[in-house]
């Protein structure tokens, strides 16, 4: 399998126009071709072989970005969807990245609250509105013992609305710098 080139570093056009709550956003791949196929096989069929190949191919990049003391936090999944699917894809992705990078991960730090429409069916503007109050910090959270960077991890960034809403809450409630890592990003 030939892997596509990683995205070039630097902010996107949207990021240049608006101040973001996160310090940076890194995407490992473009969501197309073999990358798209591997992610869909993982999310829809539970086949993580392609995902593991992608992550191993990106291990050098991951090791240059993420350090042992950093904490990886998945985008919270709606509880009903997690029960329906029997798994939390974001938590699984965090665990795999943590295994490769030596970082810590915590799937309970950030929570989803309320009921929101599925993002995939909405426009960019509707997505932002849909997620305004979707995330909340776990009330048991404590800054003690967390020394590294907080990394918000998502599988696919489309409009950036989800990571924006989650990063906004994390930064506002923890007062800590936030970075975002996604497996893939769509191109417009």
Q: How many CA atoms lie within 13 A of 149 on its CB side?
A: 16
pTM here? 0.82
Domains for the chain: give ranges and CATH numbers: 24-185 (3.40.50)
The predicted pLDDT at position 87 comes to 77
The CA-atom distances, in angstroms, between 51 and each of 29, 36, 59, 76, 107 are: 11, 10, 12, 20, 19
Give, rounded to a whole angstrom, the gap between the first and last alpha carbons of the chain: 25
List the beta bridge partners of residue 184: 29, 156
Residue in the block written with tokens 């609250």: 113
The predicted pLDDT at position 27 comes to 95
Could you write out the DSSP letters of every residue in 71-125?
EEEEPPPPHHHHHHHTS-HHHHHHHHHHHHH--EE-TTSEEE-S----GGGS-HH
Written as six digits, the tokens of 95 are 């665990």
**What tens digit of pLDDT does each residue of 38-64 get?**
999 999 898 999 999 999 999 999 999
Residue 182 DSSP class: E
Below-50 pLDDT ranges, the chain: none
């Amino acid at each position: 399998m030939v892997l596509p080139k990683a995205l070039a570093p630097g902010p996107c056009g949207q990021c240049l126009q608006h101040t973001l709550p996160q310090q940076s956003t890194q995407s490992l791949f473009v969501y197309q071709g073999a990358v798209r196929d591997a992610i869909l096989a993982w999310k829809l069929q539970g086949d993580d072989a392609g995902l593991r190949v992608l992550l191993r191919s990106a291990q050098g990049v991951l090791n240059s970005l993420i350090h042992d003391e950093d904490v990886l936090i998945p985008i919270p999944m709606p509880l009903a969807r997690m029960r329906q699917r029997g798994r939390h894809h974001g938590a699984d992705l965090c665990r795999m990245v943590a295994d490769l990078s030596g970082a810590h991960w915590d799937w309970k730090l950030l929570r989803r609250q309320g009921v929101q429409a599925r993002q995939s069916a909405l426009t960019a503007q509707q997505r932002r509105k849909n997620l305004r109050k979707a995330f909340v910090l776990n009330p048991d959270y404590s800054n003690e013992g967390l020394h590294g960077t907080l990394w918000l991890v998502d599988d696919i960034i489309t409009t950036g609305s989800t990571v924006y809403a989650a990063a906004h809450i994390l930064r506002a409630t923890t007062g800590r710098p936030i970075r975002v890592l996604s497996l893939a990003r769509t191109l417009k």
